[in-house]
Amino acid sequence: MDLDARRIEAYFAFMEAGSLLQLLVDDQVRRDGNLSYPQFVLLARLADAPDGRMRMTDLADSAVHSRSGLSYQARLLEDAGLIQRTPSPHDDRSVTAAITDAGRDILARVMPGHLDAVRQGFFSVLDDSQVEALAVTLSAVRDRLRTLVPSATQRRRKAAGG
Amino acid sequence: MDLDARRIEAYFAFMEAGSLLQLLVDDQVRRDGNLSYPQFVLLARLADAPDGRMRMTDLADSAVHSRSGLSYQARLLEDAGLIQRTPSPHDDRSVTAAITDAGRDILARVMPGHLDAVRQGFFSVLDDSQVEALAVTLSAVRDRLRTLVPSATQRRRKAAGG
DNA sequence: TATTGTTATACTCTATAACTATA
DNA sequence: TATAGTTATAGAGTATAACAATA
């Protein structure tokens, strides 16, 4: 098989595996934590951030969201008591989102089953060297795509008339 | 870095790369062919099938759609003249969807730019052996996920009370 | 003037359930 | 009875544009 055909094969396999894995983990976070996947991702990002806090704009950019989309999800998470939004200390325009104890509890409840599902659906067919190779190549692809796909902030600047 | 951490890294890189690549190609098929990505996928599947035809149920299963979701997309594609639905010859319950000449034209117009976008966003950071490895591992993952995630038909049977 | 965040609004996608028709 | 497909309906997610407030 020539290289071009290999590329197309890899690309479609990637997209389809992505759709299927989405369905799998969507289901898991819904069942085990009553969360949508976008909500799970936001919680996981916050939990990983220093102090469990991030500025709304940075969170939107990091999660590939428009700001309005993030505001929508943040409202749902805040109504559920899983995050809290407060004015930022040094810039009164900004809002800082922080994961709450309840948010961390939910995440702790969901994570084990989540990793189990991913292990079963994804890693069970790979050996250690393949996992290593995937971590390397997919990180490179992700970084490359970040440079190509405009962030929420960049899209907004463009729309404003730049 | 231990293997578990490597796995988590690979998983999140995979999901984020998937989201970003979606944004990139969504945009491309919209601009170049006035298609949504789900519509592009359906056209590409049909174009690849023998005679450019597939039964609706098989198309739904292969594209990870519910049947109603497929009916919706099929109506849009048919209204645009890109596919045509006709009763199946040997089973009057079934409907066969076929890509039209106009559908093939659109696909021919979109594909080069599509592969270009994927090349730039995805393959430009990979060497030949990495592409080869990705094709192998991602195909295995996709096949594994297909066994785990119920198809549209299976989900329907379950809902009916099987 | 530029940036931050929210909201009003509209649109796309998807699914469940109910329905018709055929095997 | 089981399967194929459609439609009515509803809900989630996202984006654009308009807005208010602060830098």
Mean pLDDT for chain A overall = 93
Is the CB of A69 less than 7 A from some atom of nucleic acid strand D?
A: yes
pLDDT at B57: 94
| Per-residue tokens: A68 | 């309005």
Tokens 């943040």 -> residue: A74
For residue A151, give the nearest of A15, A74, A57 by alpha carbon. A57
Q: Is there a contact between A94 and A59 (Cβ–Cβ < 8 Å)?
A: no
Condensed to tens digits (0 to 9), the pLDDT of residues B105-127 reads 999 999 999 999 999 999 999 99
Quick one: A36 exposed, middle or buried, by C-beta within 10 A (0-12, 13-18, 19+)? middle
Condensed to tens digits (0 to 9), the pLDDT of residues A29-47 reads 999 999 999 999 999 999 9
The reply to whether A15 touches chain B by the CB within 8 Å rule is: yes
Q: What is the DSSP letter of A93?
A: T
Residue A162 has pLDDT above 50, yes or no: no
| Per-residue tokens: A30 | 């819904």
pLDDT at B122: 95
**Distance C8 C1' – A86 CA (angstroms):** 23
Residue B158 has pLDDT above 80, yes or no: no
DSSP calls for B80-144: TTSEEEEE-SS-TT-EEEEE-HHHHHHHHHHHHHHHHHHHHHTGGG--HHHHHHHHHHHHHHHHH
Condensed to tens digits (0 to 9), the pLDDT of residues A134-159 reads 999 999 999 999 999 988 888 877 77
Q: What is the largest CA-CA distance in chain A?
A: 59
For residue A155, give the nearest of A57, A66, A58, A42 by alpha carbon. A66
**Can you name the residues that pair with B85 across neighbouring β-strands?**
B97
Q: Name the nt closest to A39 by C-alpha to C1'.
A: D13
Residue A129 has pLDDT above 90, yes or no: yes
Is the CB of B72 less than 7 A from some atom of nucleic acid strand D?
A: yes
Go through the domains of chain B in sequence order and give each one's CATH number: 3-125 (1.10.10.10)
Query: Average pLDDT, stretch B16-38?
Result: 95
pLDDT at A104: 98
Condensed to tens digits (0 to 9), the pLDDT of residues A62-112 reads 877 789 999 999 999 999 999 999 999 999 999 999 999 999 999 999 999
Q: Looking at CA atoms only, how far is residue A30 from chain B in angstroms?
A: 15
Beta strands in chain A (DSSP E): 53-55, 83-87, 95-99
Query: Quick check: helix, strand or coil at residue A86?
Result: strand
**Distance C20 C1' – B57 CA (angstroms):** 17
Q: Name the nt closest to B63 by C-alpha to C1'.
A: C14
Residue B162 has pLDDT above 50, yes or no: no
Q: How confident is the model at residue B161 (pLDDT cuts 50, 70, 90)?
A: low
The reply to whether B3 touches chain A by the CB within 8 Å rule is: yes
Interface list for A 30-59 with B (CB within 8 A): 41
Cα–Cα distance measured from residue B56 to residue B61, given in angstroms and rounded to the nearest whole number: 9
